[in-house]
Structure 1
Amino acid sequence: MSFQQGLSGLNSSSKNLDIIGHNIANANTVGMKASRAEFSEVYASSLNASGGTNAGIGVTVAATTQVFTQGNITVTGNDLDVAINGNGFYELTMPNGTMAYSRAGMFKLNNEGQVVTNIGGQLMGYPTDPAGTRLSFTAQPLSLPTGGPIPARATSSIAAEFNLDARAPVAATATPPTPLSKYGTSVVAYDPQGLEIPVGLAFEKTGVNQWNVYTSVNGSDPAASVPFTLAFNIDGTLSSTSVIPPLTLASPNDPAVTFPVELNLGSVTQFGIDFAVNNLEQDGYRPGELTSLKINEGGVITASYSNGQTRAAGQIALVNFRNVQGLQPTGNGNWQANYATGEPVHGAPGEGKFGSLRAGALEDSNIDITSELVSMMTAQRAYQANAQTIKTQDQVFSTLLNLR
């Protein structure tokens, strides 16, 4: 009797309902990919059969596959929530030392400044220089500088861009004489410990197309300094004959500690308009504490500090596989690679076939609740139909046994 066909149908429909129920239960799980049951028929084959149709003996679940389509991206506003828009997986080093792969970008910082998942998997990335340029394609656990302030940097260069009024009279011949404080500007420099050093520049016209520059350090009188001369061409640009000596700055903490600072005045002009400072900057800074993190589409993590500085702290790595269907789900939004997947192919977000990243957002599951509910009703009817075939076979068997 054909109880076997109905029993195989019940088993297969039950497994299908389990898979559908698992999908529905994880409809709100970040990075979840829907699974589906794939069935195949089973036939009995007789030895030395020369022809004819072999009898079917039921159905089996040939495989449970995952659908790696893109899920919707939902904005969360959390800086360490990251969604992959396109192909690729995050690479994670698990606490037991094994490698795992995920699409769930819900990352946290642990007490050592490492970027980790909820179960302690460390996010892998590439080292970068402070400007964000990738230094190598050797992935390593990402670690952010949360342990202490970044060190101070002593000023090594001061750049100024301003215009000196060509209409100004020679200071010594003006009536009354032009005071040294009429044309000037100032900037704050820093010593190697990040202490502030006020630096002033004062300008005095000494002749046609010629100006003296006086300097002031730590509030000193600029008139007491040894000036140097700026000469201008007839078109108002700085003459190449101008020699601009470096400044010598002293630390407020220890005046015996001095260091030279390059003075860049190459963009200074002398036009017939009012004196104006257009740009004044220096390259030193005080120590700074970490204040925020940002991740761009290329996966570069940029740290911002309380001293106004920003620097890259690494780049998130992505991997892909020749056969993503071979990935083995292990729970917690992770998969493991095996022989069927092939070796992982490493890359960076937005390069080649790898998707870009969206910081402050998460990828939703790709499960369609409506489709799953319809599939569940279909599977339920299939289960009922297989149960009915067993019932019918039982009735036929009973009739045979009750023949008189």
Structure 2
Amino acid sequence: MSFNIALSGLYAAQKHLDVTANNIANVNTIGFKSSRAEFADVYSSSIFSNAKTTVGSGVTTATVSQQFHQGALNFTDNSLDLAIQGNGFFVTAANIGDLDRTYTRAGAFQLDSSGYVTTAQGDYLQVYEVNDDGTPKTVSLDSTVPLQVPDTAGSPEATSTETMSLNLPAGATAVDPANFDPTDSDTYTSSTSVVVYDSLGESHTMTHYFVKDSTATNTWRMFNYMDDLPVDITGGSTVSTTAPTCATLVFDSTGQLDTTVATNPDPDPIVTEELGSSGAGVITNGADGTQTITIDFDSITQYSSSFEVSSLSQDGSTVGRLTKVDIGSDGVVAATYSNGTTTYLGAIAMANFANPQGLTQVGDTSWKASLLSGDAVPGQANTGTFGKIQSSALEASNSNLTSELVELITAQRNYQANSRALEVNSTLQQTILQIR
């Protein structure tokens, strides 16, 4: 009996050594969770035994439980490095379309050749599909999809509307619009420009010249040029044979656009002529030549202050190239492109478990759900107990090297003590065998 007791102690000490050695070996493993060997005594008896004099039968390993407390965060320069501050897990899948999910805390993600975000082992990071404002369409693990970061955004969109808000200086020196020359700054009061796009996504510069009219009170003229070529205003006024037709802007005594004047663009926006060869002749690259641009004044005033453009925008775009990927604390992934567009690509799927220690280890710092852990509970980062996501950071192993070295010494001493007990038992039996 004593041999078996000492032998069980050796087995337990060896298990303690193995667990401690594994913790030490993974002290630098990203997202690693340390384990703890837990033991129970063995006590065998029957209904006919005397419990007062029964000796235990040794020790057994009850379980090797993982410790899911938070590891320290190490910050990096890679926006795809992700760490969770909380209890949640990232959700991954081995293949596109797989419903078999694995869970990890190791957030060292990267892009593969197709633009998918994967782990170092090639598992695909799962996200919830989102609406245009970045909110998840549904929070369900069965509806998650792999996160893909497109290198380009959309197809070209021709500019159809330009919107601006500005103030024209009431105290500016008035000039004769008949003398307007875009190459001579003395013939106009102010100017502003905006980049617009044709149907092929090629950019053009639309410049607006504003002239305070010396021939009429509180009256301004607006001339349009694209790529330094004149563009007529549909139904505009002709003031000279060298300048394009212009829009006439008449203000009242309060500095507001006088809506009683028929030539004013408010409430009807200004429309330019066709930009192709049949009109202004600006578009010559094979794009849609029937393109016109509507100029809509969101707000235009004439106050005694300087010329000021408070907003100037247009609704066209070219093909965008990826310039940046941002991941918020709520897990929403936003990609920014060179054409100024920002696209929400998804919300990183998170999962939690009633009993994380019941998860089944599958290697590569990953786990699968089991009967002991319970089903995965889906959620979004920054809600409930799922924790928030920290971009450009990695969660270090939660193994404490100092504590593990102390555990190593303890396990060694236990092993030595049980070895000594085994040796003493052997000596006693040898003594008995030598009795004559």
Per mean C-alpha deviation after superposition, the further-off stretch among 392-401 and 91-100 is 91-100
State the match for 2:317 in structure 1. 285
Give the superposition deviation at 1:316: 1.3
Give the superposition deviation at 1:66: 0.5
Alpha-carbon displacement from aligned partner over 1:247-292 (angstroms, at most 9, x marks no partner): 2453513476323434232222211123333432223222222233
Q: Aligned partners of 2:180, 2:419: CA distance in 1, in Å? A: 113
- Relative distance call for 1:240 and 1:40 in structure 2 (3 A) is farther
TM-score, normalised with respect to structure 1: 0.90
Q: What is the correspondence of 1:313-352 to structure 2 with a 5 Å cutoff? A: 313-352=345-384
Q: Which amino acid aligns with 1:166?
A: A
Give the superposition deviation at 1:212: 3.5
State the match for 2:280 in structure 1. none
- Relative distance call for 1:285 and 1:23 in structure 2 (3 A) is same
Unmatched 5+ residue regions in structure 2? 233-238, 261-265, 277-282
State the match for 2:135 in structure 1. 133
State the match for 1:75 in structure 2. 75
Q: Aligned partners of 1:181, 1:286: CA distance in 2, in Å? A: 32
Give the superposition deviation at 1:246: 4.1
The answer (yes or no) to whether the contact 1:30–1:365 under 8 Å persists in 2 is yes
Q: What is the correspondence of 1:94-113 to structure 2 with a 5 Å cutoff? A: 94-95=94-95, 97=98, 98-113=100-115
Q: Aligned partners of 1:107, 1:255: CA distance in 2, in Å? A: 41
Q: Aligned partners of 2:24, 2:398: CA distance in 1, in Å? A: 11
Residue 88 (structure 1) aligned with residue 88 (structure 2):
yes
Unmatched 5+ residue regions in structure 1? none
Give the superposition deviation at 1:193: 1.3
- Relative distance call for 1:240 and 1:366 in structure 2 (3 A) is farther
State the match for 1:39 in structure 2. 39
State the match for 1:258 in structure 2. 290
State the match for 2:235 in structure 1. none
Query: Residue 230 of structure 2 aligns to a residue in which SS?
Result: coil
Give the superposition deviation at 1:233: 4.5
Per mean C-alpha deviation after superposition, the further-off stretch among 180-189 and 205-214 is 205-214
- Relative distance call for 1:233 and 1:385 in structure 2 (3 A) is farther
Give the superposition deviation at 1:199: 2.3
Q: Aligned partners of 1:246, 1:136: CA distance in 2, in Å? A: 44
Q: Which amino acid aligns with 1:211?
A: W
- Relative distance call for 1:4 and 1:130 in structure 2 (3 A) is same
Residue 158 (structure 1) aligned with residue 162 (structure 2):
yes
- Relative distance call for 1:173 and 1:180 in structure 2 (3 A) is closer
Q: Which amino acid aligns with 1:236?
A: G
State the match for 2:10 in structure 1. 10
Q: Aligned residue pairs: how many? A: 403
- Relative distance call for 1:282 and 1:108 in structure 2 (3 A) is same
State the match for 2:203 in structure 1. 196
Q: Aligned partners of 1:109, 1:176: CA distance in 2, in Å? A: 55
- Relative distance call for 1:152 and 1:57 in structure 2 (3 A) is same
Q: What is the correspondence of 1:232-243 to structure 2 with a 5 Å cutoff? A: 232-239=251-258, 242-243=266-267
Q: Aligned partners of 2:167, 2:303: CA distance in 1, in Å? A: 7
Alpha-carbon displacement from aligned partner over 1:206-262 (angstroms, at most 9, x marks no partner): 544443433334511665544444343443244555334242453513476323434
Query: Residue 291 of structure 2 aligns to a residue in which SS?
Result: strand
- Relative distance call for 1:173 and 1:160 in structure 2 (3 A) is closer
The answer (yes or no) to whether the contact 1:93–1:99 under 8 Å persists in 2 is yes
Q: Aligned partners of 2:252, 2:399: CA distance in 1, in Å? A: 72
State the match for 2:193 in structure 1. 186
Give the superposition deviation at 1:154: 1.9
Per mean C-alpha deviation after superposition, the further-off stretch among 346-355 and 241-250 is 241-250
Query: Residue 298 of structure 2 aligns to a residue in which SS?
Result: coil
Residue 143 (structure 1) aligned with residue 145 (structure 2):
no
Query: Residue 385 of structure 2 aligns to a residue in which SS?
Result: coil
Per mean C-alpha deviation after superposition, the further-off stretch among 333-342 and 62-71 is 333-342
- Relative distance call for 1:375 and 1:236 in structure 2 (3 A) is same
Q: Aligned partners of 2:50, 2:11: CA distance in 1, in Å? A: 32
Q: Aligned partners of 1:173, 1:332: CA distance in 2, in Å? A: 75
- Relative distance call for 1:221 and 1:393 in structure 2 (3 A) is closer
Q: Aligned partners of 1:390, 1:38: CA distance in 2, in Å? A: 22
Q: Aligned partners of 1:306, 1:237: CA distance in 2, in Å? A: 37
State the match for 1:116 in structure 2. 118
TM-score, normalised with respect to structure 2: 0.84
Q: Aligned partners of 1:149, 1:40: CA distance in 2, in Å? A: 60
State the match for 1:370 in structure 2. 402
Give the superposition deviation at 1:364: 0.3
Alpha-carbon displacement from aligned partner over 1:157-205 (angstroms, at most 9, x marks no partner): 3122222121246645999999753333232211121122332323344
Q: Which amino acid aligns with 1:99?
A: R
What's the RMSD between the two structures over aligned residues? 2.8
